[in-house]
Amino acid sequence: MKTTYACVMLSFSLLLSGCQPEKPANEADTAATFFWFDYQGQDAVFAEPVAIGSYQNPVVAGFFPDPSITRRGDDYYMVMSSFSYTPGLPILHSTDLVNWQLIGHALSRASQVDMAGMQVSRGIFAPTIRYHDGTFYLITTVVDKGGNFILTATDPAGPWSDPIWLPEVEGIDPDIFFDDDGKVYISHNGEAPGEALYEGHRAIWIWQYDPVKKAVLPDSKKLLVNGGVDLSTKPIWIEAPHIYKHNGWYYLVCAEGGTADQHSAVVFRSRNLNEPFVPYSGNPILTQRDLPANRANPITTAGHADFVQLPDGQWWAVFLATRAYEQRFYNTGRETFLLPVSWKDEWPHILPKGQEIPYRHPVPSGLISSTGGLTQTGNFKWRDEFDGQSLKPDWNLLREFDQSWLKLDGKNLNINAKAVGMDSLSQPAFIGRRQQHTSFETSTSLVVPKGNFSAGLVAFQNEHYHYYLGIKTEDGKPFVFLEQAKGAKPSLITSQDLAATTAELKLKIQGNAGSIQFYYAESNGDWQQLGETQDGKILSTQVAGGFVGTTLGVHARQEKEATP
């Protein structure tokens, strides 16, 4: 156990014995001290060992949506949407497509984007990453604060450039395509031509881009797709375009059907970017909407795919999907899955209609194993002893890049509480990591706050849906409490007094699908459940709304003075 309080009022003999006085944590009015943070997954679908020569889907579990992938030599890189979390745009690396390691973020500083005051599901939407002629290009959207922009880097781990803004390019989900004649194109989702014919009627547009002038060419905008595969059926939310060239054909792969259970991936092709794109008669090439809802361990909402070609000519697709409980609920957000792409009659196929996405599949052949990296799938354990000088890349903050309120001293994490709660649109004093399992356990140990602030564990979906398991002291009496935000301001569910001498406490959250439990324990004592089992479904997308998954982390909050 780490020392919670330094020696105080030491005698001269104790000083000679080597006990050095230092400022006790409780002398700071608003400083919370955390000793470690532990997370572990316990999903039944991951319990059986993966057979040699197979891999586990999802390849990146938890809130890693809208994946885009590129290759440089034997290395593969992915980027995903990050919405209002900072740092933004996580970059993952692999050499075998199935074992992925988080190596950094493309958005790492305030000079790049401004997301202050945003709701959690705004901010950074679906990106595209491409490698071309020695440079990585990343194009994406910051919703509400500037629109579409490009970042560049020579090292995908960073640093990445400041944005090249594209004010003419409206909408979301931009793609950048480098043709073999040297021309560069940007395609994106945008308003349909003329007036929208129905709710969700959108279009895919394309511009030519000048990489020297760092701007789209005036008057180069053209319509690629109006509405979707078949406008007469009123398809909704055609988006996430990606263009590829294969065997003389230009292929356009898009998402269609919205982000819920009607989601899909569809494909179009053309011999020339100046000619109309023709939809495939066998669309969609990926969906799970045609499967029975009561199937076991359902994978749902599949779509939003991106392709990569391997050195030997193989094609593979990464795409988003979700692992649901009770047919339609998921707290983990949209995850990244992997499947091979086959070609038939010059059309790409990911998954036949009526077939379930497999949890296990044979690995891509001929690639270099990267099993030595930190895994992002399976029932792994993850622990942070806070023994570094900076946060690990797994940690996220909300909205702003400021970290002046936290400090890692090589043995502990110290957080200065803010007068901002988890229900605020400002940046709270909170760091969180993704919930990557339907069944999980997370815990921490911290100094019992003695000042006018609280500290503890948070299970956070958004400003209106979250739990806060905290500790505070009033009138010299410490107690542990549980707050719930369920579509309104947070309210106290229950609390429990602690012994006045309690200096350090452990906190734990256990989640299992739609239920969630909260615990506390003295340093060497047994776990005690605080209150009854609570409703975990409020942390699901179906209840909370939006596009993110649950994050789990530590928080400190200034409290109002106790009423005399």
Q: What is the pLDDT of residues 500-558, one digit of tens each?
A: 999 999 999 999 999 999 999 997 889 999 999 999 999 999 999 999 999 999 999 99
Active site residues: 66, 239
In a domain, 371, yes or no: no
Whether residue 400 is found in the same domain as residue 287? no
Quick one: pLDDT at residue 4?
A: 37
Give every residue of the chain whose pLDDT is below 50, as ranges. 1-27, 563-564
Predicted pLDDT of residue 560: 82
- 386 in the same domain as 308: no
Tell me how far apart the alpha carbons of residues 167 and 486 are, in angstroms, rounded to a whole number. 38
Instruction: Tell me, yes or no, whether 450 and 549 share the same domain.
Output: yes
Q: Residue 30: what pLDDT?
A: 84
Residue whose structure tokens are 């919205």: 258
Q: How many domains does the chain have?
A: 2
Residue 563 maps to a domain: no
Domain-located, residue 317? yes
Distance CA 127, CA 142 (A): 10
Residue 374 lies in a domain: no
pLDDT of res. 505:
97
For 197-251, the pLDDT digits (tens) are 999 999 999 999 999 999 999 999 999 999 999 999 999 999 999 999 999 999 9
User: Which residue range forms the structural domain that includes residue 121?
Assistant: 44-362
Residues 23 and 74 in one domain: no
CATH number of the domain enclosing 274? 2.115.10.20
| 263 and 288 both lie in a single domain | yes
Cis peptide before 87 (omega within 30 of 0): yes
The reply to whether 3 falls in a domain is: no
Secondary structure of 212-256 as H, E, C letters: CCCEECCCCCEEEEECCCCHHHCCCCCEEEEEEEECCEEEEEEEE
C-alpha span between 452 and 272 (Å, rounded): 67
* Helix, strand, coil content of the chain in percent (nearest 5): 5, 45, 50
Q: Do 226 and 336 belong together in one domain?
A: yes
Q: Are residues 410 and 454 in the same domain?
A: yes
The CATH number of the domain where 546 resides is what? 2.60.120.200
Look at residue 370 in the predicted model and tell me its pLDDT: 87
350 and 256, same domain (yes or no): yes
Integer CA distances (angstroms), 281 to 91, 254, 264, 277, 365, in order: 35, 15, 15, 13, 30
| pLDDT (0 to 100) of residue 524 | 82
Bridge partners (DSSP) listed for residue 244: 251
In a domain, 156, yes or no: yes
Query: Alpha-carbon distance 438 to 434, whole Å?
Result: 11
192 and 270 part of one domain: yes
Per-residue tokens: 492: 């106290």
Residue 323 lies in a domain: yes
The domain boundary, picked from 330, 362, 394, lies at 362
CA distance 194 to 191: 8
Q: Within this chain, do residues 72 and 182 fall inside the same structural domain, yes or no?
A: yes
Whether 195 is covered by a domain: the verdict is yes
CA torsion angle 343 345 348 354 (round to 10):
-100
One domain, residues 21 and 78: no
Q: Are residues 37 and 48 in the same domain?
A: no
